[in-house]
């Protein structure tokens, strides 16, 4: 039987719908709790290592990192993700910096995470430097950091500073050793009084962590659509052949 062109198109649309919407939803629903995708959030520093310090308030970077991570965790959990934190209090994960970093990587790599985000605050000798910037290390991180950066540019960097930044390569142990795609987000400069003021404000922290959440979502959606259009394409080619 030879199908008309219109019928072939209709069948293709139905197949696409099944593969992109229905089948993934049924699979996730059927597998339930154990299938919830895991995201690891890392609040940089902690304990004896407070990170950098606020230029006017003397606030520890580790305190801001943890506050942001807790907010981000809330957004991700409300959206159905399982979230693992490398630390949930003001502690270091080892007696030395090296031990601490090794432990963080162990948590990440034993979690079967789909993604890891490490939160930090920046510091620069010149007080004029400002802005939020994402870093990547491995090839698989670059796309994640770039999508994250684009979202942060549009929603926060450009409206506040009238400029955008690029995601940058960074030789960071935690990124180099995480098996899943990973990024470090440097959420602003506490060497700049205005960035510092923003980072101390709970309302701004909610806004910032929500935008990091949206950056994560955008990356997941992009990779999911790419994977699914590939399967749909293979299926359609088989059907029409």
Q: Which is nearer to Zn ion, 135 or 144 (CB)?
A: 135
Least distance between Zn ion and beta carbon 227 (Å): 33
Q: Which is nearer to Zn ion, 53 or 207 (CB)?
A: 53
Least distance between Zn ion and beta carbon 44 (Å): 4
Least distance between Zn ion and beta carbon 22 (Å): 44
| 133 strand-pairing partners | 186
Residue numbers at the binding site for Zn ion (CB under 5 A) = 44, 51, 120
| 115 strand-pairing partners | 39
Q: Which is nearer to Zn ion, 44 or 46 (CB)?
A: 44
Nearest to 165 by CA among 156, 176, 173: 156
Least distance between Zn ion and beta carbon 54 (Å): 13
Question: Coil, strand or helix: which one is 169?
Answer: strand
Strands (E), the chain: 38-43, 82-85, 115-122, 133-136, 168-169, 182-189
Q: Which is nearer to Zn ion, 115 or 185 (CB)?
A: 185
User: Whose CB is nearest to Zn ion?
Assistant: 120
Q: Diameter of the chain by CA atoms?
A: 78
Distances (CA, A) of 194 to 55, 126, 165, 197: 10, 13, 18, 5
């Amino acid at each position: 039987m030879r199908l008309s062109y219109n019928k072939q198109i209709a069948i293709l649309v139905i197949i696409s719908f099944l593969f992109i919407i229905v089948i993934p939803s049924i699979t996730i629903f059927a597998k339930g709790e154990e299938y919830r995708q895991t995201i690891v959030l890392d609040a940089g520093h902690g304990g004896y290592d407070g990170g950098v310090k606020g230029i006017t308030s003397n606030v520890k970077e580790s305190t801001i990192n943890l506050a942001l991570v807790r907010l981000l965790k809330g957004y991700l959990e409300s959206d159905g993700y399982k979230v693992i934190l490398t630390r949930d209090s003001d502690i270091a994960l080892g007696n030395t910096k090296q031990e601490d970093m090794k432990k963080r990587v162990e948590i990440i790599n034993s979690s079967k995470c789909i993604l890891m985000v490490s939160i930090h605050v920046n510091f620069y000798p010149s007080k004029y430097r400002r802005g939020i910037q994402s870093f990547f290390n491995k090839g698989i991180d670059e796309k994640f950091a770039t999508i994250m950066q684009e979202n942060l540019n549009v929603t926060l960097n450009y409206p506040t500073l009238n400029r955008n930044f690029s995601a940058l390569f960074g030789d960071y142990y935690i990124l180099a050793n995480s098996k899943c795609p990973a990024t470090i987000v440097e959420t602003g400069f506490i060497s700049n009084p205005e960035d510092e003021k923003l980072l101390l404000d709970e309302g701004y922290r909610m806004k910032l962590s929500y935008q990091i959440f949206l950056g994560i979502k955008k990356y997941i959606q992009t990779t999911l659509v790419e994977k699914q259009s590939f399967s749909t394409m293979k299926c359609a080619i088989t059907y029409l052949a």
